[in-house]
Structure 1
Amino acid sequence: MSATALVVGSIVGTGVFTMPAVMAGAGTSSLLVLAVISAGALLLGVLFGQLTKRVPNSDGGVYAYARHEFGDFAGYLTAWCYWITAWAGNAAIVSSWVLYVESLFGIENPSAWTNLGIALVGLWIPAVVNLIGVKQTAWVQNVTVVLKFVPLILVGVVGWFFVEAANFGPFNASGGSLYDGISIAAGVALFSFIGVECAAIAAGRVKNPERNVGRASVLGTAASALLYLLVTAAVMGLVSHSALVDNGAPFVDAFQTMFGDAAWVGKVVAATAVISGLGALNGWTLVTAEMPWAAAKDDLFPPQFAKTNHDGAPWFGIVVSTVLASALMGFAYSGNTGLTVFTYLVSLSVVTVAIPYFFAACAQLAYLVSRRRKVAGWALARDLTIVVASALFSLWVAAAAGYAAVYQTMIALLIGIPIYAFLKARRERLGTIPQPRDAGAPLEPPAVELIDDPPANVPDTPAALTDDTSGATR
Structure 2
Amino acid sequence: MALMIKRIERPRELKWYQAGAMLYGDWGTSKAYVLGIAFALAGHASWFLLGIMSLLTILVGFCYTIICRVYPDGGGVYSSLRNRSKPLAVLGALLLIADYAVTASLSTLSAFHYFNTSNPVLFAMGAIALIGAINWIGPSKSGNLATFVGVLASISAIILFGFTVPHLPHVNLQMPTGTFTHNWSSFVGIVLALSGVEAIANMTGVMVLPVDKTSKRAIWPVLLEVALLTFLLGIAMNAIPNLTGHTEDMLRAIANHYIAPWYGTMISILFAFLLLSATNSAINGLVSIKYAMGKDRELPEQFTQLNRFGMPWLGLIVATIVPILVLFFVNDLVGLAALYAIGVVGAITINLGACALNYKINLKRWERSLLYAASLILLFVEVTIAFQKHAALLFAIIIVAVGLILRYLGKTFFVIKVPEFVPSAEVLTVSEAKDLVSLYKSSFLVAIKQMNLKLLEDTALMIKARGENSAYVCYVEESPAIKSELVELEPSAESIELLAKVEEEMAKSGITVIPLWQTGTEPGKRIAETAKELDVKTVTIGATQRSALVNLFRGDVLRQLAQGLQKDCHLVIVG
Q: Normalization by structure 2: what TM-score?
A: 0.63
Alignment check: 8 A CA contact 1:50 1:214 kept: no
Query: Do the aligned partners of residues 167 and 326 (structure 1) sit closer, same or farther apart at CA in structure 2, a change above 3 Å counting?
Result: farther
The residue identity in structure 2 corresponding to 1:62 is V
Q: What does residue 376 of structure 2 align with? A: 392
Q: What does residue 410 of structure 1 align with? A: 397
Alignment check: 8 A CA contact 1:10 1:194 kept: yes
- Can you list the C-alpha shifts for 1:381-400, whole angstroms capped at 9, x where unaligned? 12212211221122122134
Distance in 2, matches of 1:307 and 1:157, equals 50
Distance in 2, matches of 1:248 and 1:45, equals 26
The residue identity in structure 2 corresponding to 1:278 is L
Q: What does residue 22 of structure 1 align with? A: 37
Query: Do the aligned partners of residues 163 and 41 (structure 1) sit closer, same or farther apart at CA in structure 2, a change above 3 Å counting?
Result: closer
Structure 1 unaligned segments of length 5 or more: list them: 334-340, 432-474
Q: What does residue 206 of structure 1 align with? A: 207
Query: Do the aligned partners of residues 227 and 122 (structure 1) sit closer, same or farther apart at CA in structure 2, a change above 3 Å counting?
Result: farther
Distance in 1, matches of 2:227 and 2:302, equals 37
Bigger strand fraction: 2
Query: Do the aligned partners of residues 408 and 117 (structure 1) sit closer, same or farther apart at CA in structure 2, a change above 3 Å counting?
Result: closer
Alignment check: 8 A CA contact 1:202 1:290 kept: no
Q: Please say if 1:194 is aligned against 2:195.
A: yes
> Which residue among 59, 65, 70 is the counterpart of 2:80?
65
Distance in 2, matches of 1:81 and 1:327, equals 17
Distance in 2, matches of 1:226 and 1:356, equals 25
Alignment check: 8 A CA contact 1:123 1:281 kept: yes
Q: What does residue 248 of structure 1 align with? A: 248
Alignment check: 8 A CA contact 1:354 1:394 kept: yes
The residue identity in structure 2 corresponding to 1:138 is G
Query: Do the aligned partners of residues 332 and 422 (structure 1) sit closer, same or farther apart at CA in structure 2, a change above 3 Å counting?
Result: same
Distance in 1, matches of 2:417 and 2:88, equals 21
Distance in 2, matches of 1:209 and 1:33, equals 36
Q: What does residue 43 of structure 1 align with? A: 59
> Which residue among 216, 227, 230 is the counterpart of 1:228?
230
The residue identity in structure 1 corresponding to 2:252 is V
Distance in 2, matches of 1:125 and 1:164, equals 46
Deviation, structure 1 residue 258: 2.1
The residue identity in structure 2 corresponding to 1:235 is M
Q: What does residue 159 of structure 2 align with? A: 154
> Which residue among 185, 210, 215 is the counterpart of 1:183?
185
Alignment check: 8 A CA contact 1:27 1:181 kept: no
Q: Percent sequence identity over matched residues?
A: 19
RMSD: 2.9
- The correspondence of residues 333-348 of structure 1 with structure 2, limited to 5 A, is 333=331, 341-348=332-339
- Can you list the C-alpha shifts for 1:33-77, whole angstroms capped at 9, x where unaligned? 33333333333334334334444742x82111222222x222211
Q: Please say if 1:279 is aligned against 2:277.
A: yes
- Can you list the C-alpha shifts for 1:338-372, whole angstroms capped at 9, x where unaligned? xxx1111111111111221122122212322xxx3
Q: Normalization by structure 1: what TM-score?
A: 0.75
Secondary structure in 2 matching 1:243: coil
- Can you list the C-alpha shifts for 1:242-285, whole angstroms capped at 9, x where unaligned? 4244543223332222234x5x3442232123122123223222
Query: Do the aligned partners of residues 194 and 230 (structure 1) sit closer, same or farther apart at CA in structure 2, a change above 3 Å counting?
Result: farther
Q: What does residue 91 of structure 1 align with? A: 105
Distance in 2, matches of 1:73 and 1:313, equals 27
Distance in 2, matches of 1:309 and 1:222, equals 40
- Can you list the C-alpha shifts for 1:432-462, whole angstroms capped at 9, x where unaligned? xxxxxxxxxxxxxxxxxxxxxxxxxxxxxxx
Distance in 2, matches of 1:304 and 1:35, equals 45
Deviation, structure 1 residue 147: 1.7
Deviation, structure 1 residue 150: 1.9
- The correspondence of residues 307-318 of structure 1 with structure 2, limited to 5 A, is 307-309=305-307, 312-318=310-316
Alignment check: 8 A CA contact 2:252 2:268 kept: yes
Q: What does residue 423 of structure 1 align with? A: 410
Q: Which has the higher contact order (CA 8 A, sep 6+)?
A: 1
- Can you list the C-alpha shifts for 1:210-249, whole angstroms capped at 9, x where unaligned? 3323542344323321221222222222x23x42445432
Alignment check: 8 A CA contact 2:110 2:272 kept: no
Bigger helix fraction: 1
Q: What does residue 452 of structure 1 align with? A: none
Q: Please say if 1:2 is aligned against 2:18.
A: yes
> Which residue among 346, 350, 358 is the counterpart of 1:367?
358
Deviation, structure 1 residue 134: 6.1
Alignment check: 8 A CA contact 2:94 2:399 kept: no
Q: Please say if 1:34 is aligned against 2:50.
A: yes
Distance in 2, matches of 1:82 and 1:310, equals 27
Distance in 2, matches of 1:126 and 1:35, equals 34
> Which residue among 135, 138, 142 is the counterpart of 2:140?
135
Distance in 2, matches of 1:425 and 1:284, equals 30
Deviation, structure 1 residue 85: 0.9
Q: Which moved more, 1:33-42 or 1:190-199?
A: 33-42
Q: What does residue 117 of structure 1 align with? A: 122
Alignment check: 8 A CA contact 2:107 2:279 kept: yes
Q: What does residue 216 of structure 1 align with? A: 218
Secondary structure in 2 matching 1:84: helix
Equivalent pairs, count: 397
Deviation, structure 1 residue 146: 1.0
